[in-house]
Structure 1
Amino acid sequence: MNVLRRWWWLILMLMVAVATSFYCAFQWGFLRFNYPDQAVYPVQGLDVSHHQGEIDWQAINAQADQPKYRFVFIKATEGGDFKDPRFVRNWESAKNAGFKVGAYHFYRNCKSGREQAQNFIDSVPKQTDSLPPVIDLEFMGNCENDLTTAQLQAEIRSMAVALEQHYQQKPIFYVTQDYYAMYLQQGFEEYPLWYRDIFQRPKIAAGRPWLFWQYSHRGRVNGIDGVVDLNTFNGSVADFEARF
Structure 2
Amino acid sequence: MGKKKKSVFRFWIEAMLLLALVGTGGFLWWQRQSWAPPRAQFPMQGVVTGAADGVIDISALRTARADFVYLEASSGENGRDEVFGRNLAALADTGIPHGAVHTYDPCIPAERQAANFVTTVPRDPTLLPPAIALDKPASACGDPVIDAALESELTTFINQVEGHAGQPVVLKVSEAFEETYAIASRIERNLWLENDWLQPDYAGRPWTLWTANAQLSNPANGAKMRWVVVQQ
Q: TM-score, normalized by length of structure 1?
A: 0.81
What RMSD over aligned residues (CA atoms) do the two structures have, in Å? Answer: 2.4
Match of 1:188 in 2: 187
Q: Which runs of 4+ in 1 moved over 6 A?
A: none
Larger radius of gyration: 2
Task: Report percent identity of matched pairs.
Answer: 26
**2:34–2:217 CA contact under 8 A, matched in 1:** no
Please state how far the C-alpha of 1:49 moved relative to its aligned partner.
0.5
1:179 counterpart residue number:
177
Q: Which residue in 2 is equivalent to 1:85?
A: 82
Give the alignment partner of residue 154 of structure 2, picking from 153, 156, 159: 156
- Aligned partners of 1:39 and 1:23: how far apart in 2? 23
Q: CA deviation at 1:143?
A: 8.3
Q: Displacement of 1:178 after TM fit?
A: 2.9
> 1:92, 1:204 → 2: CA distance?
36
- Gaps spanning 5+ residues in structure 2: where? 1-5
Higher RCO (CA 8 Å, separation ≥ 6 residues): 1
How do residues 1-244 of structure 1 correspond to structure 2 at under 5 angstroms?
A: 1-26=6-31, 29-32=32-35, 35-62=36-63, 68-139=65-136, 144-145=140-141, 146-147=143-144, 149-183=147-181, 184-189=183-188, 191-203=189-201, 206=204, 208-222=205-219, 225-235=222-232
The answer (yes or no) to whether the contact 1:47–1:73 under 8 Å persists in 2 is yes
Q: Give the TM-score taking structure 2 as reference length.
A: 0.85
Once the 2 structures are TM-superposed, how far is the Cα of residue 54 of structure 1 from its aligned partner? 3.1
Structure 1: 5+ residue stretches without partners: 236-244
State the 1:221 CA deviation.
2.2
The CA deviation at 1:95 is 2.8
Corresponding residue SS for 1:37:
coil
- Bigger drift between 5-14 and 38-47 goes to 5-14
Question: For 1:224 and 1:156, how far apart are their aligned partners in 2?
Answer: 39
Which deviates more, 94-103 or 81-90?
Answer: 94-103
